[in-house]
Structure 1
C-alpha cells in the first residue's frame, strides 16, 4: 500500500468517525493521525464512550 492509499483510507475513516460522533473536530482527528492511542483518548474524552466501543468504531471505520 502506498502513501496515497494510506492517506485515502485515513480520510475515509475520519469521515466515518465524524458521522458516528459529530462532536469530533478535524483538529481532534488530525492531531491523532497516526497515533491510535491518542485518538482513542480524545474520542473518549469528547464522547464519554468506553475504550472498547471507541476501538471497535475505529476498526469498523478503517475497513473498506
Structure 2
C-alpha cells in the first residue's frame, strides 16, 4: 500500500474512513491526515484490535478506496 497516495487523497477519502470506522471522531480523522501510524494507533485504541488485525483491516479498506 502506497501511503504517499493515501496522504495525498486524504481529504477525498476521509469521509469514507469516518463512515467505515464510525468510532473515530471527525477531529481524529482530520488529525490523522493520512498518517499510517496515527490511524493504526487510533484503531487499536478504539476497537481493541492487535497491530496485525489493524494492518489487515486497513490494507483491505484502502485497496477498495484508493
- TM-score range for the pair, normalised by the shorter chain length: 0.5 to 0.7
- The whole-number CA distance in structure 1 between the counterparts of 2:35 and 2:19 is 20
**Structure 2 portions without partners, runs of 5+:** none
- Secondary structure (helix, strand or coil) at the match of 2:43 reads helix
Aligned-residue Cα RMSD (Å) equals 2.2
**Structure 1 portions without partners, runs of 5+:** none
Tell me the matched-pair count. 57
Relative to the length of structure 1, the TM-score reads: 0.63
Q: Cα–Cα, structure 1 residues 16 and 50, in superposed 2: closer, same or farther, change >3 Å?
A: farther
Relative to the length of structure 2, the TM-score reads: 0.61
